[in-house]
Amino acid sequence: MKINPKDFRVSTGNKVDMAEWPTTVKPLCKSKRQFQELMQEHMETLSALQRLHYASNRYAFLLIFQGMDAAGKDGAIRHVMSGINPQGCEVFSFKQPSAEELEHDFLWRTTCRLPERGRIGIFNRSYYEEVLVVRVHPELLRSQGIPEELRDDKSIWEERYRSIAGMERHLYRNGTRTVKIFLHLSRDEQRKRFLERIDEFDKNWKFSLADIHERKYWKQYMKAYELCLSATSTRHAPWYIVPADDKENARLIVSGIVLEALNELKMAYPKTTEKRRAELLSIRKQLAK
């Protein structure tokens, strides 16, 4: 089965209904061996593209992962990006904001971590938490020090969507390409993965009582994601809804999305000038002696 990233892309202006987006699709590979071979092929291609990206030094590439607990964000990052040079890639995980971060606007802490040109930046969760977790738990707004007159529940979320979309357009105009991936996990599959984390000793560290607490708000989170993805999937910063119940499928789809996005940059290695070429040939003669 060929991976077509457009099958998972949220079109600009499209109203998202999570019930219409599957959490599982037909297996892309017939066997574990075929999966490993295809992933290896993807990783080698990605490694070559990253070298080209670093050498051309024209764009920055930002990859954002969002999803419910146990959706596979860590695993997707680890498997898809494992073949690239660590010097050209940085991963940031955004947890609960610190006291310092709360003294700034909600985009400040992630803006400080944006990738440089020639590099790949990965956000494991992101500024989108401010229209997801905070929307499900609006009491968190009170801890952010926002003036009361600016905390109007009827307008604050739309205003935050506009802030996010405006920031992403700004990044696009300045050479940052943003790809956003929502790993779409079913509630039943989350339950199975939570049980695995309890039953398997080497996964106990992954489990937290907070995970169970947030699970109670599943419907509210799905609604928050629907509104968020509908409002912020744009031509220059698209959202992709990736079926996440099958981890192998999800990783292949994610790698296909990343490869397509990098290929669209139409990068090229810097051209050597005649002066530079002559200089290199002169150095070569010296080394040959």
Give the per-residue pLDDT at 69: 95
Cβ contacts of 211 within 8 Å, gap of 6 or more: 69, 70, 194
Give the per-residue pLDDT at 3: 86
Task: Tell whether the model's pLDDT for residue 13 goes beyond 70.
Answer: yes
Ranges of beta strands (E only) in the chain are 60-67, 89-93, 120-124, 176-184, 239-243
Range 5-288 has CATH code 3.40.50.300: yes
Joined tokens for residue 145: 């020090």
Task: Tell whether the model's pLDDT for residue 131 goes beyond 90.
Answer: yes
Model confidence at 27, pLDDT cuts 50, 70, 90, reads very high
Q: What is the pLDDT of residues 41-71, one digit of tens each?
A: 999 999 999 999 999 999 999 999 999 999 9
Give the per-residue pLDDT at 87: 87
Task: Tell whether the model's pLDDT for residue 154 goes beyond 80.
Answer: no
Joined tokens for residue 113: 């971590």
Joined tokens for residue 133: 């977790």
Model confidence at 144, pLDDT cuts 50, 70, 90, reads confident
AA identity, residue 10 = V
Cβ contacts of 216 within 8 Å, gap of 6 or more: none
Cβ contacts of 100 within 8 Å, gap of 6 or more: none
What is the distance between the terminal CA atoms of the chain, rounded to a whole angstrom?
A: 56
Q: Say if residues 18 and 239 touch (Cβ distance below 8 Å).
A: no
Cβ contacts of 27 within 8 Å, gap of 6 or more: 1, 246, 248, 249
Give the per-residue pLDDT at 209: 84
Give the per-residue pLDDT at 267: 92
Q: What is the pLDDT of residues 170-196, one digit of tens each?
A: 999 999 999 999 999 999 999 999 999
Q: Say if residues 194 and 207 touch (Cβ distance below 8 Å).
A: yes
Q: What is the pLDDT of residues 225-260, one digit of tens each?
A: 999 999 999 999 999 999 999 999 999 999 999 999
Give the per-residue pLDDT at 241: 98
Specify the DSSP element, H or E, that contains 275.
helix 274-288
pTM: 0.93
Specify the DSSP element, H or E, that contains 277.
helix 274-288
Give the per-residue pLDDT at 270: 87
The angle subtended at Cα 210 by Cα 109 and Cα 135, nearest 5°, is 50
Mean pLDDT of the chain: 94
72 backbone dihedrals φ, ψ, rounded to 5°: 105, 25
Q: Say if residues 236 and 148 touch (Cβ distance below 8 Å).
A: no
Cβ contacts of 176 within 8 Å, gap of 6 or more: 59, 60, 61, 62, 114, 115
Model confidence at 151, pLDDT cuts 50, 70, 90, reads confident
Mean pLDDT calculated for residue range 250-274: 93
Give the per-residue pLDDT at 1: 60
